[in-house]
Amino acid sequence: MTAGAWLEVLRASVREERGRIFRERSILLVLIAIPLLYPVIVAYLYHAEDSRDRPALLLDLDGSALSRRLTLELEATPELRIDRRVASLDEGVAALRRDQAELLLVVPDDFSRRLKRGEQAQLAVWAGGANLYTWAIAYPAAVTVAGATGARVRTAAFLAKGVPPDVARARAAPIATGDRLLYHPTGSYGRYLAAGIFLVVLQQLVVVSLAFSAGARLEAGLPAAGREPFPLARLLGMAAAHAPFWLAGVAFVGLLLMPAMGWAGPSVLATAALLLAFAVAMVPVAIGLASLARDRMGTFQLLMFFSVPLFLASGFTWPPGQLPRAVEVATALFPATPALRALRVLVMKTGDLGAVAPQLAWLGALLVLHSALAALVVRRAAVARRLAALRRGAEPPSPASRSTP
């Protein structure tokens, strides 16, 4: 193998793949639709960022001034919305079962009486629990209002005994709590989740487009790229033809869409640089998978299995320490794992790339590892082709003798 022949195959592969991209509308659609359509849909779905005004039902069996004031304060919270009152517990539970509301608040008939006697009263909170996120929003709101109401009643009791106001408030609520979200002041769920989905979209762009094109090449009757002379040069040429589309996808997501939605974090350039580093780390993975592609449908089936489990097991949506040890070790071998963890830091905490230096080093190590694995996978196919030619008593054709369409 000469360097000149290798470069000749590389250049020929770039030209051939560029022509295929614009001849095969399905390949062009994948290269354009994945980075443009999918992220825009996600941004539209999560543009509200937070879930507010969760629908709740109220069953007020007490009907007192205290219970009415409690109801007003519950309605005043941004997290809850009292849709209607129900006449009985059975009616409220049936409405929860039919998904007509997410919460049922029950004020018992002895609510005000127990409070006036200095006894503990109860506010019952019923929930279907089908959506844990909305439960995590609505339930704390109800608990906060109940706690504030209890503190106000105790303060009024101390004031009635002649206790000074400051002392009465301190005795009624001796411990004050305050939330301080250092790195994510808005608590936005959309900002947290959408950023991770965008990174997975870029993963799909790199891997799916190259494997999809390799499958289309086989369907057109051409030999598999991994079984031609200089297979690595041919696959690298295909990747080089796709690279402008990949870079455009990174630029659109990292420099336009995320900043427009306010999801890029303190530094737009740092976030975009991470997305670019991740796309580069995915190139050898894409080359290895493309060398195994047999058709376009098989490519999509493979990637359906490949992407979603990796996202779920990356530690982005679930604490890494809670994952089975074997799963944690296995997912450490995929670029999405360090990239997602670094993205969370850059989007939520700081725009300093130095803060994610360990994850960037991790990505770099995976780039080297997957490059070696891709070369090995591709080379095995080339060796198999040469052995088959030798068994037939003929040498494999030289790259110079092959005409490129």
pLDDT value of residue 188: 67
398 pLDDT more than 50: no
Structure token pair of residue 73: 């304060």
- pLDDT band at 133; cut points 50, 70, 90: confident
Which range (63-77, 111-125, 283-297, 316-330) has the least confidence? 316-330
pLDDT band at residue 324 using 50, 70 and 90 as cut-offs: confident
Split at pLDDT 50, 70, 90, the class of 405 is very low
Most confident stretch, 91-105, 133-147, 220-234? 91-105
Task: Give the model confidence (pLDDT) of 161-205 as tens digits.
Answer: 888 988 888 888 888 777 666 665 555 677 778 888 899 899 989
| Spatial distance between the Cα atoms of 78 and 214, rounded to a whole number of angstroms | 52
Q: Which of 199, 206, 291 is nearest to 241 (CA)?
A: 206
Rounded to an integer, the average pLDDT of 90-100 is: 90
What residue segments make up the domains of the chain, in order of their start? 3-47+188-401, 54-172
Place of tokens 């409070």: 115
Tokens representing residue 220 in the block: 């057109």
Looking at the structure, give the CATH architecture of the domain made up of residues 54-172. 3-Layer(aba) Sandwich (3.40)
Q: Which of 99-108, 248-257, 329-338, 339-348 holds the top average pLDDT? A: 248-257
Q: What is the mean pLDDT of residues 377-396?
A: 62
As a whole number, mean pLDDT of residues 196-225 equals 86
Q: Of the segments 98-102, 278-282, 386-390, which one has the largest average pLDDT value?
A: 278-282
Side chain identity, residue 78: P
Lowest mean pLDDT among 82-86, 173-177, 224-228: 224-228
**Residue 26 pLDDT exceeds 90:** no
Sheet holding 80-85, edge to edge: 80-85, 54-60, 103-107, 124-127
pLDDT for residue 397 is more than 70: no
Q: Enumerate residues 6+ apart whose C-beta is below 8 A from 169.
A: 151, 155
Q: What is the pLDDT of residue 399?
A: 45
Compute the mean pLDDT over every residue in the chain, rounded to the nearest whole number.
84
Query: What is the average per-residue pLDDT within 287-303?
Result: 77
Q: What is the mean pLDDT of residues 341-355?
A: 88
pLDDT score of 403 more than 50 = no
Answer yes or no: are the C-beta atoms of 213 and 27 closer than 8 Å: yes
Q: What is the rounded average pLDDT of the residues 122-128?
A: 86
Confidence of residue 368 (pLDDT cuts 50, 70, 90): very high
Has residue 348 got a pLDDT over 90?
no
In this structure, is the dihedral angle defined by the CA atoms of residues 203, 131, 100 and 60, taken in order, positive or negative?
A: negative
Residue 50 pLDDT class (50, 70, 90 cuts)? low
Statement: residue 381 has pLDDT above 70: no
Average pLDDT over residues 79-85: 90
